[in-house]
Amino acid sequence: MVNMQKVAVIGCGFVGATSAFSLIQTGLFSEMVLIDANAKKAEGEAMDLSHGSAYLTPMNIYAGTYDDIVDAGIIVITAGANQKPDETRLDLVKKNVQIFKSIIPEIKKRNCEGILLIVSNPVDILTEVALKLSGFPSNRVIGSGTVLDTARLKYVLGKHLQVDPRDIHAYIIGEHGDSELVVWSGAQVAGIHINHFCELRGHFNHEEAMERLAQEVRDSAYEIIERKGATYYGVAVAVKRIATAIVKDEHAVLPVSSLMQGEFGLNDLCLSIPTVIGQDGVEKVVDIYLNNDENDKLQSSARALKEVLDDLDL
């Protein structure tokens, strides 16, 4: 039986440890198991996290094995090689696919019934890999997708327009990577189309601003990696947001990566589209409006991912 108050985190590197830290502060979980190829690392992280328990909702945090994840409601997978400076997320494919080939079969043979939340990069490819290797129904395999990219977009737009980013409604879709795209046609603030709102704030050069802001979001991970070696705080908050939507059965709309089954003419690949998320995982991929240019860019993003998938031995 699935325990939605239990979460497992597989991979205790920067992203895994930071995601665990983010998750223990939600009050959603009463149990967390950490797993890593380096068992001592998992033990150390569990000890460190546990020492804050006096100031948090009661929670059992421990290092364990795959046998401990059988009843976990959410299994977060962050294991994988780190992205290096000047390395794209797609460059990580072969290394991290091999790592997943050692992880996912361990989950499959224990007949876990929880939701797989894939965070490792390249997340769209690895979500597809996890789906195929696990045999899970597609609604139970979710990638963090462009949830972080969308948060970055709202942040830079908030700075540009001097408004609270929480009042900005805009999405980045497609690949979590270089071929991602902003859905400018549907972007708005307080129900006002983004271009009109920009003009209300004294900005009129829309094309230049859209290109510059999209590029800033697209390159932000590279900029962070160049400065500090890795990104992990932002994605940890994204993991927290997705987990909250699942456990609380929010039916929230988030741009997670999931299996396309005819949406926008796409099939048999995972990429990010705004999706209704609840306790059963993916409920509905939302068929949002795209103008012709956005649709062309989405198809191009899908082709880039498909080319990589076709080269994999799954």
Which positions are catalytic? Answer: 176
Q: Distance between CA atoms of 107 and 69, rounded to whole angstroms?
A: 8
- 32 DSSP β-pair partners: 7, 61
Q: β-strands 168-169, 188-189: how paired?
A: antiparallel
Question: Which residue's entry shows tokens 């949002």?
Answer: 288
Question: How many H-runs (helices) and E-runs (strands) does the chain carry?
Answer: 9, 16
Contacts of 29 (CB under 8 A, 6+ apart): 5, 6, 7, 23, 59, 247
Q: Is 86 exposed, middle or buried (0-12, 13-18, 19+ CB in 10 A)?
A: exposed
Nearest residue to 236 via CA among 134, 143, 123, 148: 148
The end-to-end CA distance of the chain, in Å, is: 30
Nearest residue to 165 via CA among 182, 150, 186, 144: 150
